[in-house]
Amino acid sequence: MSNPLHINAGRLLGDIADLARIGASDSGGVHRPALSPADIEARAWFRERTRTGGFRPGEDGAGNLSAVLPAADPSARTLLLGSHLDTVPDGGRFDGALGVLAALEVLRTIREAGLILPVRLEAIAFTDEEGTHISLLGSKAAAGLLAEADLEHPHSSREAFAAGLARAGLTPEGLLSARRDPASLAGYLELHIEQGARLEQSGTDIGVVTAIVGIRSFWLTFTGEAAHAGTMPLPDRRDALWGAAAFIGRARAAVLADFMPGTMNCGIISVTPGAFNIAPGQARLALEFRHPDTAVLEEMEAALLALAGAAAEEHGLQLAVTPVGSVAATPLAADMIAAIERAADRLGRSHMRLASFAGHDAMSMQAITPSGMLFVPSVGGISHNPGEVTPDADIVSGANVLLHTVLDLAGAADRGS
């Protein structure tokens, strides 16, 4: 039991530093949106690291890149380990990259240790997790969750999406044919930074993710009447922004009072006509809210939309509610949660269970195979930001827990000593 197997810390940290140079932004972060030239460069770099690690590089129709460590039995099921290489605009160096590079490092460590596991191991980098074009694109494709209609309305634009696919040599047909056979899979594991501050604040090494939040998003359009900002007396106005502003404050208060640890966000707002001297006739507001419990998410939706309706009515406005997206809350696999906890215990790492308030590729994979996630701390909870930092020790600790979770699941924990 002493001297359990460990990953090569220097090699993993070196890989993270090397990858962070691809798309490095002036602000010290990483700008590597999916299928951008920087992302294409990162993909080529990963293929090369796969090759130099001695693994056969693989790629499916969705552009998901793999490194494979075969099992003794060629018919063995595959345990997938991965995350994504793309970033949000001007994001950080750990979100996604950590999970992919730690997966590759786990494969290298197991091979170098001469371990022959009863499962095939595959380190996988999923395409466009962040949704530059389509959120969770690669993992949805792999899970068979992608429909032709999903390709019609990319977040970017049809032109930008088509250009990105062409850059990566991908096609819509390929995307729709990338589904993995669930019977071929033994599970999916993803190591990720927390992107919150709960681990740091509680001094915990490892977060064991119990569920990934459900997310709902809407456009709220408040419509009143544009008016001259001087001549229309205040009491007679139907100012659309007044309704939107009242809603924002009340929605925040309602979530704080009744729906914690749920979250709400109004991340985009615009008014028309849009002039210093015209009272807004219309205000368009992006609303998103999250909760790990589907039943509570339903209650939040009812409460928040009722608040929007009341704010509109108070100011003589009409309210139009347009659903934009809905992601179901995803409980992760109990077996995976238990295996991660055993691995952390084996390595003497403290751990706590928590929900993930961000979406991850594990949401897709859980649809076809038992999936688990583990988090390492993010300093200050900063994420989707150049200031994203996870200390080296936590990175190494997380990769080692990932390694031992694999060994545990493979029934090889003892051999990993």
CA nearest neighbour of 247 among 213, 284, 278, 272: 284
Q: Does 47 bind a copy of itself (CB under 8 A)?
A: no
Contacts of 387 (CB under 8 A, 6+ apart): 28, 29, 92, 380
The residue from 15, 105, 128, 194 that contacts a copy of itself (CB under 8 A) is 194
DSSP 93: S
> Encoding tokens for residue 392?
């080296």
Instruction: Tell me the CA distances in angstroms from 330 to 30, 83, 213, 370, one per residue in order.
Output: 29, 17, 7, 11
Q: How far apart are the first and last CA of the chain?
A: 6
Nearer to a copy of itself, 108 or 133 (CB): 133
Min CB(58)–a copy of itself separation in Å: 29
Q: Do 146 and 53 contact (CB within 8 A), yes or no?
A: no
Per-residue x/- mask for a copy of itself, residues 376 to 415, rule CB under 8 A?
Answer: --x--xxxxx------------------------------
Stretch that binds a copy of itself, among 9-17, 47-55, 219-227, 302-310 (CB under 8 A): 219-227
Min CB(125)–a copy of itself separation in Å: 20
- Judged by CB under 8 A, the chain residues 283 through 312 that form the site for a copy of itself are 286, 288, 290
- Judged by CB under 8 A, the chain residues 226 through 265 that form the site for a copy of itself are 226-236, 239, 241-242, 244-246, 248-249, 252, 255-256, 260-261, 263-265
How many residues in the shown chain lie near a copy of itself by CB under 8 A? 71
One DSSP character per residue, 157-203 reads -HHHHHHHHHHHT--HHHHHT-PPPGGGEEEEEEEEE-SSSHHHHHT
Nearer to a copy of itself, 71 or 332 (CB): 332
Min CB(324)–a copy of itself separation in Å: 7
Question: CB count, 10 Å around CB of 64?
Answer: 24
The residue from 88, 146, 151, 307 that contacts a copy of itself (CB under 8 A) is 88
Length of the chain: 417
Q: Does 358 bind a copy of itself (CB under 8 A)?
A: yes
Q: Does 267 bind a copy of itself (CB under 8 A)?
A: yes
Q: Do 282 and 222 contact (CB within 8 A), yes or no?
A: yes
Nearer to a copy of itself, 65 or 363 (CB): 363
Residue 294 CB-density burial (10 A; 0-12 exposed, 13-18 middle, 19+ buried): middle
- Judged by CB under 8 A, the chain residues 307 through 336 that form the site for a copy of itself are 324-325
**Strand (E) or helix (H) holding 396:** helix 392-409
Q: Do 279 and 227 contact (CB within 8 A), yes or no?
A: yes
Q: Does 160 bind a copy of itself (CB under 8 A)?
A: no
Min CB(57)–a copy of itself separation in Å: 30
- Classified as helix, coil or strand, 28 is coil
Stretch that binds a copy of itself, among 2-10, 157-165, 188-196, 392-400 (CB under 8 A): 188-196
Min CB(348)–a copy of itself separation in Å: 27
Min CB(180)–a copy of itself separation in Å: 26
Q: Give the span between the Cα atoms of 209 and 332, in whole angstroms.
A: 7
Q: Does 225 bind a copy of itself (CB under 8 A)?
A: yes
Min CB(280)–a copy of itself separation in Å: 6
